[in-house]
Structures are given as structure tokens and as C-alpha cells.
Amino acid sequence: MKTALREKIVQYGRNLLANQLVVGTWGNISCKTADETIIITPSGVDYNRLKPEDLLEVTAAGKILTGNLKPSSELLMHVAIYQGRKDIQAVIHTHSIYSTCCGVLRQPIPPLVEDIAMVIGGTIEVAEYFLAGTEELGQAAVRALGQKNAVLLANHGVVGVGPNLKEALKAALLTEKAAQVYLTTIQAGKPYLLSEKDVAILHNTYLTSYGQKGGKENNEDID
């Protein structure tokens, strides 16, 4: 099953490029396995050249179990997020343009449209700035993430999380959409936001009854 999971992560790396969420080798992807280890992308490897055997397997504390390459520079952040939120099974970190703009402005993205409320669960907060790759950045990301499914990293990028890779990517994509909608809207006037009550209803609907809820997908399912 871990072989299939590695192949899926490689494909999601290609998806980051296809959706213009990253440039070059930046960004990183990880997800948990059935035995609570973490599979994570290596540092500085082009997504178009990334192979399943290039990925690393680490313990829940970040100790390398298998892999010959250097792990992602944001390994500590991934570990911190998994430790802080036991419901999270996948983490995707991108440097998408509009989301990064909001992070540079230190501007949270409010709940402007329904899909953001449904998937993210409310305002997308900005984590306090710390240097990339540090334990401090990981802890700041966990604090700002709270119980939502995306967080902006000040002067850096965005992190999307979820119960599987599909949902983590969806969170990252919708955060980028929300950032673009927000930055565009405020140029024209004052945006009208969804109420906290409506956000809560929409998010609960997404979690409990949206789409086909007949079965629960996990990271090792192949789309």
C-alpha cells in the first residue's frame, strides 16, 4: 500500500505544477500511513523528475526511516501539524501567488464565498513569521490553523490540510481562489462576508452530507 501512496504523492506533485501553485522545486507534500509514519517529498527535487523511490518515510517525530535523499526543508512544520491535529492525514504546502500576497500583507482571508466556508471552515488566518524550516514556524502554523483546513504563512505561502491528499489539495486551491477573490473585490469596494452562523452551517454540511458520503476515502486509495 505504501508503494501506491508514494505514486499518488508523486502525481500530486505534478498537480501542484499544473495548477500553478508552485514554481520550480518549492512547496512540499506529505501524508500519514496506516501505521502512523509519514511519507514526505524530498528537498529540491523537480516535481517533473520526482520518482516514488525519492520520497522519504519518517516517524511521527520526524526521524528518517527510509530514503536516501534529504527530506523537505519543512519537515518540522509537517510533523508539528500532524502532532497538533490528529484528524489531519495529509499536508500540502504551496507558494501560490495570491495567497502569498495575503501573507505578505499579513491579511487574513475572510469567508467571502460558500466553497471556502464549506472546505476551510472560516477565516484563513496568517501564521506569525518565522524563518522557513524552523520549529518555530511549525508551531506558529499550528496555532493559526486551529481547527480549519488552511493557513497562510507570513511572507512565505500557504498550507492546506485534510483527511486525505485530495482534500488537502482542494484546501490549497480554494485558498488561492479566495485570496484572488478577496484582493480583487477590495479594489472595487467593501466585500460582504458570510455570517459566522452561515459559515458553521456550510462547513457542517460539507463534513456530513455534501457529495457522496457512502464511504470514507483514505490516503492509500487511488483516485
Show which residues are catalytic. Answer: 74
Number of CB atoms found within 10 A of residue 207's CB:
13
Phi-psi region of 91 (alpha: psi -120 to 50; beta: other; left: phi over 0): beta
Q: Measure the CA–CA gap between 80 and 210, rounded to whole angstroms.
A: 29
C-alpha cell at 167: 482534500
Q: Which of 223, 186, 222 is nearest to 3 (CA)?
A: 222
Query: Which of 110, 76, 60, 93 is closest to 161 using CA atoms?
Result: 93
Selection from 161, 171, 222 nearest residue 5 by Cα: 222
Residue 39: CB partners within 8 Å, gap ≥ 6?
Answer: 2, 5, 6, 9, 30, 31, 32, 33, 55, 56, 57
Q: What is the CA radius of gyration of the chain?
A: 17
Query: Of 177, 142, 179, whose CA–CA distance to 161 is shortest?
Result: 142
Note whether 87 and 149 are within 8 A (CB).
no
